[in-house]
A = this chain, B = another copy of it.
Amino acid sequence: MPLNQQIVLDNRPVGEATASNFRLVTAETPPLADGQVLVRHHYLSLDPYMRGRMNEGKSYAAAQALGEVMIGGTAGEVVESRHPKYQPGDRVVGMGGWQAYSVVDGNVPGLLRRVDTTHVPLSHYLGAVGMPGVTAWYGLVKIIAPKAGDTVVVSAAAGAVGSAFGALAKARGCRVVGIAGGADKCQYAVQELGFDACVDYKEHADFVSLSKALKAVCPDGIDGYFENVGGMVLDAVLLRTNAFARIAVCGMIAGYNGAPLPLANPALILVNRLKVEGFIVSEHMEVWPDALAELGTLVGSGRFRPRESVAQGLEAAPEAFLGLLKGKNFGKQLVKLA
């Protein structure tokens, strides 16, 4: 069996996460038991939710245990199988974690999903045609539920979720406005992703200023908002919401380091009769087939060409992850492992 490289959570962050929270270890790969499959990971997915898992205490998911391999989505190939459903060479997606190989029980439903790479590159199953894409789909379709002509806004617009949101909303005839950090990301959102407009929040010192910029590009107000970041961006958007606007709360990355992240004016929820709903896509597995079918078609047909930021090698994962938390990535952040 091949020697495995793994990154474990060594200690918990105090405030900002740092590279020293992680530790690279080498481990034997155990021989396969009956029903098990050995997967070689080609790509590791890095996602903001992982930061939440690094904290102790109550969140929507259990904390990542110290000394254990960091949780994470992976795409790879079966290299050895003692399960009749899987053959060496099969392309598969799973939650293999921050490591080069994983041993998976082929009998547990949902642990491993075989994917077709004829029209969709393997890596996209971790992004546009994977969890981030379905996340965008759920928030847009199930919470915001826009009509054609509605104005919808998404923060972290150039990221994996934001870019999928843009493609899905444009396909529904919406006016789609992004919010992102940096002129380059905004340019990418408009020129490559097809957003109607994008506002660089870094050009604004406070939510009032950002809100004015939003007004300029959302002349008919905001009917739906997909929230990835929280903080001043949410305050700015709330000021521009129309009556009965819907807000899907998927992430509040600005608060992951434990800093307080108050909302300045929650009374707008009443004044504008808003619906604000938090969700976690893994609790809505029933929508995955429909969502993946639409996303696969958008990507396979070339109408949605998601960008990826790819770090090389497992040892690069911690720095790539910290960069993701600071918004250094363009599109889906991956680590190439093989």
Q: How far is the CA of A58 from the CA of B262 in the complex (A)?
A: 23
Give 1 or 0 for each of A268-286: 1 = CB within 8 Å of chain B CB: 0111111111111001000
Taking Cβ atoms with an 8 Å cutoff, the residues of A that contact B are 58-60, 230, 234, 243, 249-252, 255, 260-267, 269-280, 283
Nearest-neighbor residue (CB-CB) of A61 within chain B: B271
Are A270 and B243 within 8 A (Cβ)? no
Are B243 and A269 within 8 A (Cβ)? no
Nearest-neighbor residue (CB-CB) of A260 within chain B: B264
Q: How far is the CA of A271 from the CA of B58 in the complex (A)?
A: 8
Residues of B within 8 A of A273 (CB): 60, 277-280, 283
Residues of B within 8 A of A260 (CB): 264-265
Asked whether A60 and B270 contact (CB < 8 A) given A262-B263, A264-B260, A264-B262, the answer is yes
Residues of B within 8 A of A280 (CB): 273
Residues of B within 8 A of A251 (CB): 270
Are A249 and B270 within 8 A (Cβ)? yes
Partner of A275, one of B230, B270, B276, B283: B276
A303 to chain B, nearest CB (A): 30
Q: How many copies does the complex hold?
A: 2
Asked whether A271 and B230 contact (CB < 8 A) given A261-B265, A262-B262, the answer is no
A259 to chain B, nearest CB (A): 10
Return the 10 tightest CB-CB contacts between A and B, nearest first.
A270-B278, A263-B263, A263-B266, A276-B276, A262-B262, A269-B278, A252-B267, A273-B278, A275-B277, A249-B270
Asked whether A230 and B266 contact (CB < 8 A) given A59-B271, A60-B272, A271-B59, the answer is yes
A47 to chain B, nearest CB (A): 14
Partner of A267, one of B261, B265, B272: B261
Q: How far is the CA of A59 from the CA of B266 in the complex (A)?
A: 13
Residues of B within 8 A of A250 (CB): 270
A-B contact pairs, 21 of them (CB 8 A): A60-B243, A60-B270, A60-B271, A60-B273, A230-B266, A249-B269, A251-B270, A252-B267, A252-B270, A261-B265, A261-B266, A261-B267, A262-B263, A266-B266, A271-B278, A273-B277, A273-B279, A273-B283, A274-B276, A274-B277, A275-B276
Q: How far is the CA of A277 from the CA of B59 in the complex (A)?
A: 22
Q: How far is the CA of A263 from the CA of B276 in the complex (A)?
A: 14
Count chain B CB atoms within 10 A of each CB in A249, A264, A272 and give the residue with the most.
A249
Residues of B within 8 A of A255 (CB): 267
